[in-house]
Amino acid sequence: MFHYLRYIYREHVNQWANNVALENDSSELSIDTNTVSCFLEPLKNSRRLANLRKTKHLWLREKISSDCTEINSRLPQLYGIIEADELLGLTRQFATIALATIYYNLGIIYKDCLGLQDLQVSLDSLSRSRELLRGNELDCDAILIVVKSLVAMSEIQATQRWLSEAVKLYLQYSKRDNFRSKPIYTYLADVLKQDLRILLILLYEKIIKRMEVIYSASDEMDEWIKTVHDCLNNRVRIIKSLDEACKWSNAAITISTYLINKLRFHEARNCLAAAEYILDSIEENPSYNVIRYTVKNLQAKVANAWLTYTNYILRESCSYLQAQQQTSYVPIQRAPQELLLFTSLRARLGYFTNRITDSRVSNTYGADIVTDFAVDQYMVACTIFSALGNDGDYFIAMSKCALVFKYLASFSTDIDFQIQVYKCQRKFFYDNYSKYVQKARLLPEFVSDLVVILKMWKDATQKFLSVIEGIEEFPNLYSITQRTLRFIISTLDDYEQIDRVIVI
């Protein structure tokens, strides 16, 4: 996801470098000539003070405090002038811009100035700056103020809210006219009279870096995910290169992971279908061999994500069926929300989405279909991961498939069904045990993975034994399964001892 957002950053840097001669002439929109004097004086003073806010001199900090108090005393009057509609046209527009800039400059003073620091006052000032420009954020005289205010607010409260809004506005502004319009100079602190498009681009890069630090797929990141999803949905129509297509697919996979964690299966399925469709399209390109390794790795990542998807479908289905059996069960009502779907690809994703359900299954028939799909994806993922030498992701995919079989076994107590599931598990674990025995003989670090496989195999075997114990129809099967369990336990003990020695 972040790789793709950085791709957009590099694209905009190139656009800026190539379009300098095409930039709009904003001289007629100069804030100096369009702002009345009662706003202009505190505006310039606020910038001067803000540029001095990190001084270490006590006397200068006291001067900043005194001057800020004087500016604050004038703000109600200035705000009243705007509210009373005493100004018209450009004069009113630039008075609003000036006041928003003053609030921003004061906000960062109270955020950064030693001895004057008050984060709540800072946040209030920055919020007022942002609210003054609501509805006009995409104007060339407002965009930089709004984005800088949101970034500063995010430095006070490390939350997705401000950063998501800042990225969304940046992407909307840059999309509107291919980034040819440049923001105008409004006496913002730390800003020089230059082509401010490059400053806006650098702010975007800063936002991406900050967001990468606080992002977590397990947290509430809905606003951020929606912002990135909207960007992908708009960009998919104009993907310019195979490299961009790969980064786009990777971003879609990341979004799907978040949606799966939130049990938003319909949207997650759409995301993975879109990623798979784009990757299949790349294979048809004459230049495919140039990035074949990258595409194959992404195809394995999609398959691995599908495995996660099927795991969650089966897990939630089992939980739902168990909960229904309780007399006190009350279904959880989820609040309706806007669905994140790739509407730009609606007509092309039918084949990919029709292969697998996007809701809970209620019987063994539905669970079998989900399991068959999961096994297919497991084969795709592990074949590619093995060919690429990606042992870590191979093991993760194998562990997910093991869970699929575990959930499948929970759907029915029917003996014949349990036998069929166990036969699949036995073959699955034996095949992987055999592979990892060979790996462990060559490289000791694979011993710990082999121990995990043996433990999962032991648990599955013990559970099956408890199912068929005492049933007279299957004496041979019970005896064979007991021998298998003894072999697993003995082998597990041996490798656990080896693993302890390796760790020491």
Burial (CB count within 10 angstroms: exposed 0-12, middle 13-18, buried 19+), residue 363: exposed
How much is the pLDDT for 503?
67
pLDDT of residue 25: 45
For residue 367, what are the contacts with CB-CB under 8 A and spacing of at least 6? 314, 317, 361, 407, 408, 411
Angstrom distance (rounded) from CA 311 to CA 407 = 8
Q: What pLDDT is stored for residue 26 in this prediction? A: 47
Tell me the pLDDT tens digit for each residue of 231-250: 999 999 889 899 999 999 99
Output the pLDDT for position 263: 94
Mind listing the pLDDT tens digit for each residue in 26-59?
444 678 887 888 999 999 999 999 999 988 898 9
329-349 confidence digits (pLDDT tens): 555 556 557 899 999 998 899
Q: How far, in Å, CA of 306 to CA of 371, rounded?
A: 11
Q: Answer whether 221's CB lies under 8 Å from 178's CB.
A: no
DSSP label at 290?
Answer: G
**Residue 178: which region, alpha, beta or left (left: phi > 0; alpha: psi -120 to 50)?**
left
Task: Count Cα atoms within 13 angstroms, Cβ side, for 175.
Answer: 13
Q: What pLDDT shows up at residue 84?
A: 80
Angle between helical axes of 391-409 and 292-324 (0-180°, round to 10):
20
Cβ(126)–Cβ(170) below 8 Å: no
Encode the chain (504 residues) as per-residue pLDDT tens digits.
Answer: 888 888 888 888 877 776 655 444 444 467 888 788 899 999 999 999 999 998 889 899 899 999 999 999 999 999 898 888 777 777 888 899 999 999 999 999 999 998 888 999 999 999 999 999 999 999 888 999 999 999 999 999 888 889 999 999 998 988 876 666 778 888 888 887 777 888 888 888 998 988 888 887 667 888 899 999 999 999 998 898 999 999 999 999 999 999 999 999 999 999 999 999 999 999 889 888 999 999 999 999 999 999 999 999 999 999 988 887 775 655 555 655 789 999 999 889 999 999 999 999 999 999 999 999 999 999 999 999 999 999 999 999 999 999 999 999 999 889 999 999 999 999 999 999 999 999 998 888 899 999 999 999 999 999 999 998 878 787 888 999 999 999 999 999 999 998 888 765
pTM: predicted TM-score of the whole model, two decimal places: 0.87
Sign of the C-alpha dihedral computed for residues 322, 324, 325 and 326 taken in this order: positive
Q: What amino acid occupies position 171?
A: L
Backbone angles phi, psi at 469, to 5 degrees: -60, 130
Query: In Å, how far are 364, 410, 417, 475 from 414, measured between CA atoms?
Result: 10, 10, 5, 17
Consecutive H or E run containing 481: helix 475-503
